[in-house]
Amino acid sequence: MSLIRYNHRNALADVVGSAHGITTAALTDMLERGARCTKGMLKRSASTPFAFLDLPDDDKTLTAVHALVEQRKGTYDTVLVIGMGGSSLSALATDGALRINQRAERQPKLRMIDTTDPDAVSGALMGIDAQRTLAIAISKSGDTLETVAALALVCQWFEEAKCKLPRHLFVVSNPEGGFLNSFASRHGLIRVAMPKAVGGRFSALSAVGLLPAGLLGHDIDGLLAGAAELRDEMLKSSPSANAPLMNAAIHAALLRDCGKSVSVFMPYASALRSLGAWYIQLWAESLGKGRDAGGRPRACGQTPVLALGPEFQHSQLQLFLEGPNDKLFTMIEIERFRHALPLPADFPYADAGAPILAGKEMGSIIAAQLRGTEQALTEQGRPNVRLTVERLDAKTLGALYMFFELQTAYAAHLLDVNAFDQPAVERGKALTREILDKP
Amino acid sequence: MSLIRYNHRNALADVVGSAHGITTAALTDMLERGARCTKGMLKRSASTPFAFLDLPDDDKTLTAVHALVEQRKGTYDTVLVIGMGGSSLSALATDGALRINQRAERQPKLRMIDTTDPDAVSGALMGIDAQRTLAIAISKSGDTLETVAALALVCQWFEEAKCKLPRHLFVVSNPEGGFLNSFASRHGLIRVAMPKAVGGRFSALSAVGLLPAGLLGHDIDGLLAGAAELRDEMLKSSPSANAPLMNAAIHAALLRDCGKSVSVFMPYASALRSLGAWYIQLWAESLGKGRDAGGRPRACGQTPVLALGPEFQHSQLQLFLEGPNDKLFTMIEIERFRHALPLPADFPYADAGAPILAGKEMGSIIAAQLRGTEQALTEQGRPNVRLTVERLDAKTLGALYMFFELQTAYAAHLLDVNAFDQPAVERGKALTREILDKP
């Protein structure tokens, strides 16, 4: 059985109407174009934009991370990641998904500096012991302004605690060039390279995601195995059995033809909150472009929105059901949670108008909520698709990363934009520098 | 000086063009209609939908909360809130904004059950001492399915730890009717009423928000004082000096005339992350309606999106600057953070290509990022407004709550929808119950 099951029935024109669902003709057209993209993926070389597909096979990085984990075992309680966007979101997403009840465990904990908010940065360093902290500075270019500023503060913090940097600080960056590399050389720090051809938002399965995850005690072998399995199965499938391509086709067609300008990422699992933040960058930055792949001006993009299962039913569902029909929903279902959590038998559920709760487990309530929301959306002609994983573990998480990365690469191809650049971001950075430079 | 300063220059047609900014004619029209709404607000009675405006004057609730805080002082380390949506988001928002570096303090900590995810619910009860926990079950109707299920589990957890419920459990609900009230009577629990006329998403300044905040040690007097001050100043101002009305007018006009279907809430302060989640419910549920105020079918609504200052520059800015021009940005600026956080002098900033960092404080970097983003958005014809508060404290937080509640009430009036109902949500609940009821 596949690691991820996919159901797109509620996105079909036959089900939600042709103004809101994908027609057979549009789907056929999209899948044919997608098949050409699959060819490029299968023929990829290390220098193509599809290099992210090779990350699960990078045994060298896996071995290096395992060696560092083995070498430092028992010497730290906290892993402190310094990085922005693509350099931080996958560490958060993996830790969020795989950590089982953070509070009760002895596993090292994750702290993050992913902002210049002075209170947040101070907070990240507060209450932890520098002697028992391993920091990782991550930046693809090696020159990210915020990362440099945070690194300066963290180095000062280590020095004040009389910690030697090489014992407490790793660097993840491009194999050559950039300040992080020269800083690492000067101080004798251990470096783990990220492949040059892979951009930040596609780097979850590179050293960027693996080094923090490994140091935090997560199963990085499982992560890579799940990603490889999903990739291999999908790329050799027929277009209509290639679920990331199908989901890309539906997103691209409904954006182009039906005005679905918003992609709602709706996991029914609190542990996937940070995966949602990761998805938001992947989708926003890859498709949000001012020019098509040929360089002609055209504003493209779909706004990703995170809506966390039961919580957001109580905050956004009114808008989703009755507001403008401009959204496409991707529901994520976990079939089995780690805790079954049966409700106590001796509670007056009937008095509460909820006799249906008697004898239930929490897991069946959240499942019913997902199905109820799905059905309500469909009745209102709101297109929605569902991804189902049996349980949330390293293997299925790896598969989810690969699923959405493939989906994004396909969607960019179908929408005719470059998935792998981010030209506009430079302008904001330049203006920030100008403003900082004023007296 | 006002608690909140407002700048709407970058939303004007003169600045970003008439395809993307508000024209003088549209603004004049909107402000005239808003002035009629102000009259209704000034003439409000306890039964009108504007009852939320009276919450800052509810001395009875304030006194009750102070008495409970005084009475239970020193008997608990954890406040456990059980509630969904409007019953949980303001507790999270207030604690997030006012807690200064959670990790290092002795202040009681907040735990939340706001989901049916079995792993999240188990996690909420893990590693805390039932004997040192005060729980608050919150539901306006008193019958919310998820709250009943969680309450059953929490009561079992207290009983297993031999805790007497009246010492450990409070109830916040409508003054009469509903299961929570009868349950409280039966077990002799202390109840704090929330006013009948105020809906969940407008209840941050009622017992729903105040009881958790008070028990957590936050300055609830300041919260109410700030809200009252902002309200009084704005309602007696001329329409063009009434900033919540101005922001509502800009949102309503740009949604109606310029296709700005997305409202981006963009605080440059990590402490306002949960206020963003609160804003999302307020905006989505109040404006997302399938009928106008007269009952005629018309899909209305604007999708709220949270984008947290520096973090999201690295994940969504590419989309914001070059993607479809369908967004209106509300930036929130904090002028002074609690920590100045000067960067160390002896770091090789110049080698990092960032000599501008030398001698800087983190607070000036985040300020420059906000201004840089604002300028980049404006150059690209993307309308944006800015709210500035001098510092983030209880008084300014209270003012922010009142600002966005006023803005929402005005926007609903200008868009001709009922801000205070949520008819669609019932359908999803009914379907969930049906599905749970199947064998």
How far is Cα B262 from Cα B329, in angstroms, rounded to an integer? Answer: 8
Question: Across the interface, do B341 and A123 touch by the CB < 8 Å criterion?
Answer: no
Question: Across the interface, do B126 and A101 touch by the CB < 8 Å criterion?
Answer: yes
Q: Tell me the nearest-neighbour CA distance from B236 into chain A, angstroms.
A: 31
How far is Cα A412 from Cα A432, in angstroms, rounded to an integer? Answer: 29
The amino acid occupying position B192 is: V
Q: Which fold has domain A50-220?
A: Rossmann fold (3.40.50)
Per-residue burial over B271-308, b = 16 or more CB atoms within 10 Å of its CB, e = otherwise: bbbbbbbbbbbbbbbbbbbbbeeeeeeeebbbbbbbbb
Q: Kindly state the percentage of chain B with pLDDT values over 70.
A: 98
- Categorize the per-residue pLDDT at B387 as very low, low, confident or very high, splitting at 50, 70 and 90: very high
User: Contacts of residue B285 in chain A, CB cutoff 8 Å?
Assistant: 315-316, 318-319
Collapse the DSSP code of A338 into the 3-class scheme (helix H, G, I; strand E, B; otherwise coil) and give the result: coil
Indicate if the pLDDT at residue B239 is higher than 70: yes
Residue-wise pLDDT for B276-309, tens only, equals 999 999 999 999 999 999 999 999 999 999 999 9
A79 bridge partner residues: A110, A134
A5-44+223-415 and A50-220, same CATH topology: yes
Structure tokens at B162: 């031999």
What kind and span of H or E run contains B74?
A: none
- Categorize the per-residue pLDDT at B101 as very low, low, confident or very high, splitting at 50, 70 and 90: low
- The question of whether B285 is a catalytic residue gets the answer yes
How far is Cα B435 from Cα B421, in angstroms, rounded to an integer? Answer: 25
What kind and span of H or E run contains A88?
A: none
How far is Cα A396 from Cα B391, in angstroms, rounded to an integer? Answer: 44
**What string of pLDDT tens digits covers the 439 residues of chain A?**
799 999 999 999 999 999 999 999 999 999 999 999 999 999 988 777 899 999 999 999 999 999 999 999 999 999 999 999 999 999 999 999 999 765 656 799 999 999 999 999 999 999 999 999 999 999 999 999 999 999 999 999 999 999 999 999 999 999 888 999 999 999 999 999 999 899 999 999 999 999 999 999 999 999 999 999 999 999 999 999 999 999 999 999 999 999 999 999 999 999 999 999 999 999 999 999 999 999 999 999 999 999 999 898 888 999 999 999 999 999 999 999 999 899 999 999 999 999 999 999 999 999 999 999 999 999 999 999 999 999 999 999 999 999 999 999 999 999 999 999 998 877 777 888 888 888 6
* Residue B439: per-residue pLDDT: 64
CA distances to A327, B181, B199 from B195, in Å: 35, 14, 9
How far is Cα B356 from Cα B365, in angstroms, rounded to an integer? Answer: 10
What is the biggest distance separating any 2 CA atoms in chain A, rounded to whole angstroms?
A: 70
In the A/B pair of chains, how many CB contacts fall below 8 A? 423
CA distances to A328, B202, B299, B301, B396 from A322, in Å: 14, 20, 6, 8, 34
CA distances to A240, A244, B115 from A249, in Å: 10, 9, 32
Is any Cβ of chain B less than 8 angstroms from the Cβ of A365?
yes
Burial class (CB in 10 A: 0-12, 13-18, 19+), A97: buried
Strands (E), B166-283: 169-173, 190-193, 262-267
Indicate if the pLDDT at residue B380 is higher than 80: yes
Instruction: Check residue A198 and report its DSSP letter.
Output: S
* Residue A177: per-residue pLDDT: 85
Q: Which of residues 371-390 of A touch B (CB under 8 A)?
A: 371-373, 375-376, 379-380
Closest of B41, B52, B398 to residue B198, by C-alpha: B52
User: Contacts of residue A321 in chain B, CB cutoff 8 Å?
Assistant: 290, 424-425, 427-428
Q: Which of residues 65-84 of A touch B (CB under 8 A)?
A: 84
Least confident of A241-245, B184-188, B192-196: B192-196
Mean pLDDT of B235-244: 97
Contacts of A24 (CB under 8 A, 6+ apart): A13
Collapse the DSSP code of A95 into the 3-class scheme (helix H, G, I; strand E, B; otherwise coil) and give the result: helix
CA gyration radius, chain B: 23
Distance, first Cα to last Cα, chain B: 63
User: Contacts of residue A276 in chain B, CB cutoff 8 Å?
Assistant: none
Q: Which fold has domain B5-44+223-415?
A: Rossmann fold (3.40.50)
- The question of whether B314 is a catalytic residue gets the answer yes
Is any Cβ of chain A less than 8 angstroms from the Cβ of B100?
yes
Question: Across the interface, do A179 and B284 touch by the CB < 8 Å criterion?
Answer: no
Indicate if the pLDDT at residue B206 is higher than 90: yes
CA distances to A398, B122, B131, B429 from A110, in Å: 19, 20, 29, 37
How far is Cα B235 from Cα B41, in angstroms, rounded to an integer? Answer: 8
A432, A145 contact by CB (below 8 A): yes
- The question of whether A229 is a catalytic residue gets the answer no
Question: Across the interface, do B344 and A155 touch by the CB < 8 Å criterion?
Answer: yes
Structure tokens at A247: 């989901």
* Residue B426: per-residue pLDDT: 76
* Residue B337: per-residue pLDDT: 96
B106, B138 contact by CB (below 8 A): no
How far is Cα A148 from Cα A432, in angstroms, rounded to an integer? Answer: 15
How far is Cα A272 from Cα A277, in angstroms, rounded to an integer? Answer: 9
* Residue B359: per-residue pLDDT: 93
How far is Cα B382 from Cα A19, in angstroms, rounded to an integer? Answer: 29
> Hey, where are the domains in chain B?
5-44+223-415, 50-219
Strands (E), A47-102: 78-82
Indicate if the pLDDT at residue B382 is higher than 90: yes
* Residue A425: per-residue pLDDT: 79
Please identify which of the residues A39, A236, A339, A429 carries the catalytic annotation. Answer: A429
Helices and strands (H and E) in chain A: how many: 17, 12
Residue-wise pLDDT for B313-357, tens only, equals 888 999 999 999 999 999 999 999 999 899 999 999 999 999 999
* Domain at B50-219: CATH code: 3.40.50.10490
B141, B148 contact by CB (below 8 A): no
Phi-psi region of B22 (alpha: psi -120 to 50; beta: other; left: phi over 0): beta
B313, A428 contact by CB (below 8 A): yes
Residue where the block lists tokens 């990365």: A405
Strands (E), B8-147: 78-82, 109-113, 133-138
Q: Any idea what the Cα angle at residue A197 is, between residues A402 and A425, rounded to 5°?
A: 90
Q: Tell me the nearest-neighbour CA distance from B253 into chain A, angstroms.
A: 16
Rounded to the nearest 5°, which phi and psi values hold at B255?
Answer: -70, -50
Closest of B133, B211, B204, B198 to residue B172, by C-alpha: B211
User: Contacts of residue B77 in chain A, CB cutoff 8 Å?
Assistant: none
The amino acid occupying position A416 is: D
* Residue A314: per-residue pLDDT: 85
Q: Any idea what the Cα angle at residue A36 is, between residues A34 and A39, rounded to 5°?
A: 115
- Other CB atoms closer than 10 Å to residue A162's CB: what's the count? 8
